[in-house]
Amino acid sequence: MKRIALLGSTGSIGTQALEVVSAHPGLFEVEVLSAHSNAALLIEQAKKYKPNAVVITDESKYREVKDALMMHPVKVFAGPSSLTEVVQWESVDMVLGAILGFAGLKSIIAAISAGKRIALANKETLVVAGEMVMKLARERGVPVLPVDSEHSAIFQCLVGEDLRTIEKVILTASGGPFLGRKPNYLVNVKSSHALQHPIWSMGAKISIDSATLMNKGLEMIEAKWLFGLENEQIDVTIHAQSIIHSMVQFTDGSMKAQMGLPDMKLPIQYALAFPQRLTNTFKRVDFKDYPKLTFEAPDYKTFRNLAIAKDAMYRGGNAPCVLNAANEMVVDAFLHNKVGFLEMSDMIEKTLEKVPFVAQPTLPDFERTDAEARTYAAEFIKKSQLSIY
């Protein structure tokens, strides 16, 4: 029985993780649940899954959660610092990091420091501080098991292989809702349109990242640190059907691919159960439904976020942290119709020019960089054509 702290339980990954947990009652037990501000769903989940504790990071919601769970044997905590405390508890075996964005970093560092197994969906943690996080995990002997479907695919391809025989990894990208579109079309798209992903159903932020291809850029950086790769070993191909979730090419020219239907429950289950492969009843791939699997090069000129992210990966240091912070800001502004689709890349690029480079950042450096980048990005957002009118 693995006792799990599920951070970000009210999100897209969090709710699907709870479905996986429910499907295997003898294997997993929920020890901690956390949400930021969705008190109603956190309360409902607490009543159903009976965790030892819940954390609501938005402190203004504490009373609501506390009062609702008064008659239930569950501890209620509030604020981000509670997250870093509960993940270190003796009673926690594994932490599933499914918080969104930079906000998920500290609790993962705390969990690794305390020697907990990590199933990681929060890719921003590795984008910002991948080198530091993976070094800490190696020192503490803690596995960091990817939940992101591409990285789960690579991880599955690497089981039984010597990592030194990797020639390159090829991340597949669906291309998002605007695959094949050009700037003259993208200039007018709105968030409601960008949120309609053709294949995956995900949280709002990652859906926009998927539409801009920033998601794939973030995933390149995530792969670099998870698998200890050189920049040149990481490739991207557009694969619109999303049946192959990623591939590994080895030094003898052989290539392995992992396939499955686009359903996040599969990589979530694999990470939670590893090294076991659990039986389930999820729908299977039927090749009759996919007579054609296609591959094409990404359009770096139109989807500039991919090029900008790749460049930040090559620059290293705190550049990916700036990239991430600026991206979180502009995506939020785009979701609120305050900036245009194409403006997002300009603003991220300009923020990268502004924030001073730090070659070997520490955790306080990351916190400073993140705050600085957000301040610059906020200024650019204020000056956007859409904000002015």
Which residues contact Mg ion (rule: CB under 5 A)? 148-150
Residues in a beta bridge with 96: 6, 119
Q: Is 71 exposed, middle or buried (0-12, 13-18, 19+ CB in 10 A)?
A: exposed
**Is residue 100 at the binding interface for ligand NDP, with CB under 6 A as the rule?**
yes
Residue nearest to ligand NDP (CB): 11
Residue closer to ligand NDP by CB (options 116, 123) is 123
Closest CB 251 distance from ligand NDP, rounded Å = 29
12-23 vs 39-49: helix axis angle to the nearest 10? Answer: 10
Residue 146 contacts residue 155 (beta carbons within 8 Å): yes
In the block, tokens 């599933």 appear at: 96
Which entry of Mg ion, ligand NDP, none binds 112, CB below 5 to 8 A by partner kind? none
3-state secondary structure of 370: helix
Nearest Cα to Cα of residue 157 among 227, 237, 95, 98: 227
Phi-psi region of 79 (alpha: psi -120 to 50; beta: other; left: phi over 0): left
Which entry of Mg ion, ligand NDP, none binds 14, CB below 5 to 8 A by partner kind? ligand NDP
- What phi and psi values does residue 16 have, to the nearest 5 degrees? -70, -35
Closest CB 60 distance from Mg ion, rounded Å = 32
Residue closer to ligand NDP by CB (options 23, 204) is 204
Residue of 4, 5, 6, 10 interacting with ligand NDP (CB under 6 A): 10
**Is residue 36 at the binding interface for ligand NDP, with CB under 6 A as the rule?**
yes
**Is residue 8 at the binding interface for ligand NDP, with CB under 6 A as the rule?**
yes
Tokens representing 310? 């790749």
- What phi and psi values does residue 68 have, to the nearest 5 degrees? -65, -30
Closest CB 32 distance from ligand NDP, rounded Å = 13
Q: Which helix (H) or strand (E) holds 77?
A: strand 75-78
Interface size with ligand NDP, residues (CB under 6 A): 27
Residue closer to Mg ion by CB (options 76, 223) is 223
**Is residue 57 at the binding interface for ligand NDP, with CB under 6 A as the rule?**
yes
**Is residue 126 at the binding interface for ligand NDP, with CB under 6 A as the rule?**
no
304-315 vs 319-335: helix axis angle to the nearest 10? Answer: 150
Residue 350 contacts residue 380 (beta carbons within 8 Å): yes
- The amino acid sitting at 207 is S
Residue of 148, 343, 349, 372 interacting with ligand NDP (CB under 6 A): 148
Contact characters 179-208, ligand NDP, x per CB under 6 A: ---------------------x-xx-xx--
Residue closer to ligand NDP by CB (options 213, 384) is 213
Residue closer to ligand NDP by CB (options 36, 239) is 36
Phi-psi region of 219 (alpha: psi -120 to 50; beta: other; left: phi over 0): alpha
Residue closer to ligand NDP by CB (options 127, 240) is 127
Binding site for ligand NDP (CB under 6 A): 8-14, 35-38, 57, 98-100, 103, 121-124, 148, 200, 202-203, 205-206, 264
